[in-house]
Structure 1
């Protein structure tokens, strides 16, 4: 029995999209791996270069600030060379960044590490700008949300794997360095340990970029600029739900990066032996949050309700981290069936739990912010993506606060106003259709 023509076409399209979606899935994993590697790199460089908390936060700042000034140029590059070539160029830039880590490790010059991070962020932005539209366009619009969630799980799943790989390849030859003052020989050895892994990563990304360029990935239709961009920008920002949504995502990415990338540095200050894998716990909680979101939204709860719950959980966990007892292991003992013999202070586990609070903020804010935007949806999406720059400033303010009498634990108080703003957006901001 043959299928009707429409069903047969859908079946053929579905089959033809399998390979492109597999390629895109692989790229999302690479993006996540390179991004969440920062959680292990930050405390590692803090030890090698003997950095203050503020200086260590610049490692994340230089990576995420690239989004601010390369997002719009990336869009212009893609309009000129196409999405597929844009992916290849993004990966070539990431390869160059990986190679920059080699002279940085050999010379142990902090500025070179920051430059490598900046170039890596620029390459990531170009790749993100090129690869994200494929998720939406390679399939029906009705199933786009499911595809976005799957890509999110791959991205955060890479965040679980990256610190484990980092520890296995780079820290396996060293003993417990958390509570010791390193000698010059140990510092040189730890710095040299970065060379081969980053060389391998650079070559792998370069080969993958070449493979993507030669792959059967279909070229998407390029957008043509229409109308007055400045006029469209002004009109878009006249919608409070969008303008406040951009701020909500800015604050969200700030707390997401604080929770994911500073947990290792804080663990190091507490003398935790396995500080380099702590990011994996935060990312693991985020994956659980994504899965819960897929199951619950919108079947059982609305996007707005999910966002409200996430913000309230973020507020409670932030207060728990700031005022918690670093010598208490009650939560770790209660979760021994998951953690095994790993003994982490309650405050560290509460930071990891922030992954649950953060997981579905982006998927919830994005559609709420774009509601009713119509022809301004494209420019609204670009503005929302620029909210990723919050990842540059969240750790920076945490680093500044950590340098005061509050210390690193008290520094997590900077997350509280971020979650309070997200709560405001969930309760009222997303409903505002006029500034009057």
Structure 2
């Protein structure tokens, strides 16, 4: 990932007045909130599209796979764009790209077209990738290195606020206004109902596009400071002497992000279908979306708690405890029945809450001038969410409930990372 701004260009221009750290973090929380909100709208959109297009679980999770494949393809172009235009313009560009993808959902609904829907979601995800590549490392290094994990968990809590509210938005404006969302389990939609349901997504995505454009205008006019010099890319001669692969915390952090995303996205995407199972909750999709609100609410609460805990104990310890808790509740969800299994799946949000921001900050710890490149690789690893299609295949093959055993295995790798893989090697001194 490239440097935020070249030292040469910043020296040649007058230095503008920049906003304080608290104002910057306040603004960035709006970005975290926004992409969390839009990402989780998918959780209500997927069961809706499953009914509209009559998809099996593999085809349904393929929609989310396309979303996360965008992270793989868009990360490097995002890094190069940041190198050319800087972080602030890159954030604005990301918001505009997201708005364009949201507007593309309108013709996708009018046709309706499964293919155009996939393209629209890919475009939105590409814009979110640009925001992720920009904002995560920015928050991690904009303050004290000792509190980087706590700081990123705090702003990620507002990301979770977005993910918490999104199911309510989707339940009311998508599922609550469609025949598939309010029908009893087993109801087969008529062709007229399918066409009407497809068009139910137009208003929600029009609202989303308008909000994104407004936020882009605000970010464009905000005086964001540059990152401190210790994270800037060094000269090509110096860089040739350095290796990212000497940093164990990064080497094992990349698969940790990749594997964790399989777990998080699998739970979120199949949650509503899970609660609809007669032996679990026997809920319709609209009702299931309200319980999904609790899952993401747990992630929000967990990140606030994690931010406080990491000011008192090590991030590695908090991550290890979260991984153990997540493994236990996922085994209950996969093997239990009724409300016990359903509430176990809901509670995993509390344990998942700290995983992404903590793995990310531990992964870039001690990278010094290699921070941006390492951060770019960690963001690219979010593409692991695309492998949710594997869980979709398992759900079709061995059953939806047993497919969550895959999630339980993912939690064990996160535990390994917290206990051993996150230990920094060949670390550069922390910037002051």
- TM band (smaller chain): 0.7 to 0.9
Unaligned runs of 5+ in 2: 1-16, 427-432
- Range with bigger deviation, 370-379 or 86-95: 370-379
CA deviations 1:132-166 (Å, max 9, x no partner) are: 35434655555554432221111001111011011
RMSD (CA atoms): 2.7
| Alignment counterpart, residue 130 of structure 1, candidates 131, 134, 137 | 134
**Matches of 2:66 and 2:347, distance apart in 1:** 26
1:350 aligns with 2:344: yes
| Distance verdict in 2 for CA 1:40–1:225, change over 3 Å | farther
- Counterpart position of 1:256: 264
2:302–2:354 contact (8 Å) kept in structure 1: yes
- Counterpart position of 1:282: 295
Q: Map of 1:372-391 to 2, 5 A cutoff?
A: 372-391=366-385
Corresponding residue SS for 1:185: helix
Which of structure 1's runs of 4+ aligned residues deviate more than 6 A? none
- Counterpart position of 2:411: 419
- Counterpart position of 1:336: none
Unaligned runs of 5+ in 1: 1-12, 330-345
1:402 aligns with 2:395: yes
2:254–2:378 contact (8 Å) kept in structure 1: yes
- Counterpart position of 1:33: 37
**Matches of 1:137 and 1:308, distance apart in 2:** 23
- Counterpart position of 2:50: 46
1:266 aligns with 2:274: yes
**Matches of 1:262 and 1:295, distance apart in 2:** 31
**What's the TM-score once normalised by structure 2's chain length?**
0.84
| Distance verdict in 2 for CA 1:401–1:229, change over 3 Å | farther
1:226 aligns with 2:235: yes
Q: How far did residue 171 of structure 1 move? A: 2.9
1:74 aligns with 2:74: no
Corresponding residue SS for 1:403: helix
1:93–1:123 contact (8 Å) kept in structure 2: yes
**Matches of 1:364 and 1:203, distance apart in 2:** 32
Corresponding residue SS for 1:51: coil
1:316 aligns with 2:322: no
1:249–1:362 contact (8 Å) kept in structure 2: yes
**What's the TM-score once normalised by structure 1's chain length?**
0.84
Q: How far did residue 56 of structure 1 move? A: 0.5
2:36–2:163 contact (8 Å) kept in structure 1: yes
Q: How far did residue 74 of structure 1 move? A: 0.4
CA deviations 1:66-120 (Å, max 9, x no partner) are: 1111111101101111222111111111011001111111122211111111111
Number of equivalenced pairs = 400
Q: How far did residue 231 of structure 1 move? A: 5.1
**Matches of 1:428 and 1:221, distance apart in 2:** 30
